[in-house]
Amino acid sequence: MKGTPSIESSSIKMIPKDYIMQALLKPVDYHSSLLVYYVYLHRKFALASPFSTKSTSYPDDILDHFPVKKVLEFIRENLNFIFPEIVALVSSQSPSYFHVNNKLLELTQKESSVKLEYLIEHLETFDDLAVALKEGLDESKTSQYINVLKLLQPELLFKNFTSFMDLLVQNYSNDYRQVWIKLYLNSPTTTCTATLKYFGIDGDYISNPLLIFDAFQNHRQLIPVFLQVLNHSSSEFRHKIRTGRTMFSNEKDSAVLTYDSLVIQNLFSIIHISPALVCKYVHQVFVDRPLCIRLVNFQGYDLDIIPTVVDLVPSMHVCIDYCVEITTNVNGKFGMTLATYLCRKYPLEKT
C-alpha cells in the first residue's frame, strides 16, 4: 500500500559484516571501536522491533569475533561519553563477559619475562610445544614453556585447541586453567563449545545443561572449568529466554527457575567432588535469583549433604522461614533435618 513503510525501509542500515571483520584485524582504534559499538546498537534496535527477524540484524556469532575487552578499555580511555552505554549493550547481549565477582575468572597479574621469540627460536609448531610440555621436563624448563603458552595469541590456541585440551586434561594445573580462561575471556561461546566438542558433546548445551555434566563426568579435576562452562550456559539461556517473543513474562520466569533448579539439583549430586566450589556457585545463583532457594529446598535433596550445604552456602539462612512449611506440607524428615542444621548454624535470638 502506498505510503506504508516496508520493513526494509524502516530498518537501520547494516554495515557489511565483511567490512567490520576486516577492520577488526587491525589494532583496536577509534574506527574499530565505533564499529563494535554500532553492531551492538543495531542489534538492540532490531531486537526491540516487532518486525525483527534473524536476517534484520547481525547474528549472535559475530559477537564472538569481537575483542570486547580491548574495545571497552579503548572506549573508556578515549570515548568515555559512550562508555556506560557500550557496557550496558555488551552486558545485555554478551552476558558471559560480565562475571566480575566470579573468582573463577581471576587471572594472574604477574608480568612474564618470557618473550614469544623464545617460541620462535626453540619450537617450530604448537605441537612441538605440546610435546615438550607432555615430556615432563624439569620444573624450570616446564615453567618456561608454560609461560610461552600463556603468551600465545588466542587465534593460535584456538587453531590448536585439541592439543591444548590434551595438555589441560592430562596435566591440569592452575597455569593451564589460566590459559583456558584467557581463551574464554576472548571468546566465551567459542571456548565453551569447543571444550564440549573435545569431550564428544555436540548438542545444544545451552538448552540442555545436563550435556555439560555428561562431558565432565570423567574429568573431576576440571571442575573449575566445568563450572565456568555451566555459568556461561546459564547466562546464555537466561538471555535467550528473556529476549524471546514466544513466552509471557511469567512463563519466562518459570523457565529460568526450572533451569536453575535442574542445574543445582545436579550440582548437589556431585558436591562431594569439590564442596567449596560447588557451594560457591550455588550461593551465587541463590543470591541472584532468590526464588530458586525456595524451589530447590521444597524439592528436597539428599539428607547427607544438608550439613555441607548449610555450612557453605550463606544464603541458605533464609530457609529458616520455610522449614515449618516444608516439614508440614512437603517432607517432614527433610524439613526437620534442615531446620536442625540451620538452627545450629544460625541460633535464634532469645526474646
Each residue's pLDDT tens digit, 233-271 = 999 999 999 888 888 999 999 999 999 999 999 999 999
Higher-pLDDT residue of 338, 126: 338
Other Cβ atoms within 10 Å of 265 Cβ, number? 15
**Buried-state track 296-322, b at ≥16 Cβ within 10 A, e below 16:** bbbebbeeebbebbbebbebbeebeeb
Rounded to 5 degrees, what angle do the CA atoms 171, 176, 182 make? 160
What is the structure's pLDDT at 70?
85
What is the structure's pLDDT at 275?
97
State the pTM of this model: 0.68
Residue type at 350 in one-letter notation: K
Tell me the percentage of the chain whose pLDDT exceeds 70. Answer: 81
What is the structure's pLDDT at 274?
95
Other Cβ atoms within 10 Å of 325 Cβ, number? 12
Sorting pLDDT into bands at 50, 70 and 90, what band is 349? Answer: low
Sorting pLDDT into bands at 50, 70 and 90, what band is 340? Answer: very high
What is the structure's pLDDT at 138?
55
Distance of alpha carbon 87 from alpha carbon 89, whole angstroms: 5
What is the structure's pLDDT at 96?
67
The region of weakest confidence among 42-46, 146-150, 173-177, 178-182 is 146-150
Residue type at 24 in one-letter notation: L
Distance of alpha carbon 60 from alpha carbon 284, whole angstroms: 26
What is the structure's pLDDT at 98?
55
* Residue 59 scores a pLDDT above 50: yes
Residues 118-125: contacts with CB under 8 Å, at least 24 apart: 118/144, 118/148, 119/148, 119/151, 119/152, 123/148
What is the structure's pLDDT at 7?
34
Tell me the percentage of the chain whose pLDDT exceeds 90. Answer: 45
What is the structure's pLDDT at 133?
72
* Residue 97 scores a pLDDT above 70: no
Distance of alpha carbon 181 from alpha carbon 162, whole angstroms: 16
* Residue 111 scores a pLDDT above 60: no
* Residue 179 scores a pLDDT above 80: yes
Mean pLDDT of the region 54-72: 81
Sorting pLDDT into bands at 50, 70 and 90, what band is 85? Answer: confident
CA-closest candidate to residue 263, choices 243, 233, 306, 304: 233
At which residue does the C-alpha cell 551465587 appear? 284
C-alpha cell recorded at residue 94? 554478551
Distance of alpha carbon 107 from alpha carbon 179, whole angstroms: 9
Mean pLDDT of the region 183-212: 94
Average pLDDT, the chain: 82
Higher-pLDDT residue of 211, 173: 211
Domain ranges (residues) in the chain:
14-93, 178-345
Distance of alpha carbon 133 from alpha carbon 149, whole angstroms: 10
* Residue 350 scores a pLDDT above 60: no
